[in-house]
Structure 1
């Protein structure tokens, strides 16, 4: 079985810790990814607010440069993948299939040319906002103003559709979410967000948003952060399952996947320490009589479908 995780912040984390991607004390490293099985891992270039707006693009370039450096050092174990054929090649060679995303569209600094250059560097998805307002839209922490997509944001969505990049709606305001859904001609992702009906955190999706993603053909990645899993702040695999069950009950099994947010979260569920424990989720689904077909869709096939359709 292939495992596809749509979001982690591991590159930023190893930069902070002066560590490396092969073996570390983070949630993800190459050794544990390879032990987990056939893995497709999306690595995000996260633009922290301290770098915005003046140094957002520079920060993105620094993170992407470190990503490339790690891939060069460990090229026998991991490979940059820009499309579905690359993923097949990497996995057939026993390598981790690494995809690249940007978390925080402020990295573009309002320039479609920057988007195209990031695409040339291998970026295949952009999380339009983090929690705050940028040139594209309002983030979830600024949504009380009612701001949605800006004129540049609409141009950006159209250009991402044209290029074959996944528009990521985690962190965006509700108005921004609905503006994108009215603008995009391609399926979107919500790479690391959960169901607000199960946990009331503002980063989670309302039921009508979940249904809209399903109608659009998109995929939602379940986030493993306890604060997004329940209202108690301490979580277990059973809490992940509750979000899976709710989303599947609304949208069916074709619109859900994994977006664990490893190394971007301060804590994990009590029974999941990192990528090495990811199989526990599949085992729990099997105990609840989820079919192998549905488990495979959740583990990777839904996100892989979108990658395949990007071309």
Structure 2
């Protein structure tokens, strides 16, 4: 039988093999990873961590409905809280572990290769702890090492502005790359088995990281700038370079990064297809940014909607093996490569 080129399987081909119910079977069989959500920023202010009053977009039940195998939870402290970055980060880390203890039957903390495989084998939803913004380190490698011991397995080097590591994408008029401290952080992260996240990083810092790093890096939540000209999105040149390092880009569902005029499910899939066309299927994953903004993409309101992405890719003729890569295999590859 003649098979169409990789990526697409030809109109109707996949549907004939799978049938109308095959989308759900494929989604349930595939590993599903979401590389970014901001749920901890909501939960840290709640008096209860269970029940309707504590519910944001991301809940264990919705993760289960969406077939999620690994959810990355970001610790985000707004830069306006100068002087208390670390304390506020530790409060969110405490919230993370209290939340997991309430849902121990469904969720399992993941911070290294062994715990990742343990969660997958146990059939539980892995929960990985990430820090969004290197300002939380307050200029200390010692803080980085302590955070790693607390289970933090990924660090987004900057948020939108400048910190001790580098400039963020919205730091205007400077174009600053990695500082000396930023370079030390990247080297120490690789030694500790932590994933370097270049989302939010200004272009100069992005290129510095790619030149410095020995291991794959990720952009946990970013889209294609060719389709949506926002500074948070990546140019085709950046996509190709990150892919060449074995890295992965988590496609974000933030309407502003998808298409301000028509933020739809199909437009999200357009970003997936563009990134795959530019950097190859191996560089594309999911990084929803659920609970990070009150606006949502129609059809992707919470994790229970993730099977819709599988369905959309199937309708466009994608091969099963490539859908699996986008849904989670690509991020799992990087985590297995980097985590110790």
Is the contact between residue 224 and residue 240 of structure 1 (CA under 8 Å) also seen in structure 2?
A: yes
Give 1:282's aligned residue: 310
CA distance in 1 between partners of 2:66 and 2:235 (Å): 32
Partner of 1:29: 59
Give the alignment of 1:248-267 within 5 angstroms. 248-267=276-295
In the alignment, which of 223, 227, 241 is matched to residue 256 of structure 2?
A: 227
| One of 98, 101, 107 as aligned partner of 1:69 | 98
Q: What is the rounded CA distance, in whole Å, between the counterparts of 2:101 and 2:37 in structure 1?
A: 19
Does structure 2 retain, via aligned residues, the 8 Å contact 1:14–1:21?
Answer: no
Structural mapping, 1:270-309, within 5 Å: 270-309=298-337
Counterpart-to-counterpart distance in 1, 2:319 and 2:67 = 20
Of the two structures, which has the highest relative contact order with CA contacts closer than 8 Å and spacing of 6 or more? 2
Question: In the TM superposition, what is the alpha-carbon distance from 1:87 to its structure 2 partner?
Answer: 2.2
Contact 1:22/1:29 (CA < 8 Å) preserved in 2?
Answer: no
2:31/2:324 contact within 8 Å kept: yes
**1:159 equivalent in alignment to 2:188:** yes
After TM superposition, the score normalised by the length of structure 2 is 0.88
Partner-residue secondary structure (3-state), 2:100: helix
Q: What residue ranges of structure 2 are gaps of 5+ in the alignment? A: 1-29
Structure 1 residues 135 and 272: CA distance shift in structure 2, 3 A: same
| Aligned equivalent of 2:272 | 244
Task: Please give the per-residue CA displacement for 1:14-35, whole angstroms capped at 9, x wherever unaligned.
Answer: 2235452665541110111122
Q: Report how many residues are paired.
A: 309
Deviates further, 192-201 or 21-30: 21-30
The 3 A distance-change label for structure 1 pair 123 and 291 is: same
Q: How does 1:121-132 map to 2 (within 5 A)?
A: 121-132=150-161
Q: Secondary structure at the match of 2:45?
A: helix
Equivalent residue, structure 1, for 2:237: 208
**If the length of structure 1 is used for normalisation, what is the TM-score?**
0.96
Once the two structures are superposed, what CA deviation does each residue of 1:179-211 show, in whole Å capped at 9, x if it has no partner? 111111111100000010000011000111001
Partner of residue 45 from structure 1, selected from 75, 87, 101: 75
Q: Determine the C-alpha separation between the residues in 2 that align with 1:95 and 1:25.
A: 20
Q: CA RMSD in A?
A: 1.3
Q: Select the structure of larger CA radius of gyration.
A: 2
- Give unmatched runs, 5+ long, in structure 1: none
Deviation readout 1:136-181 (Å, 9 max, x if unpaired): 0011111421211110000111111111111100111111111111
How many Å apart are 1:231 and its aligned residue? Answer: 3.8
Structure 2 residue aligned with 1:139, among 149, 168, 172? 168
Q: Give the whole-Å Cα distance in 1 for the aligned partners of 2:288 and 2:213.
A: 25
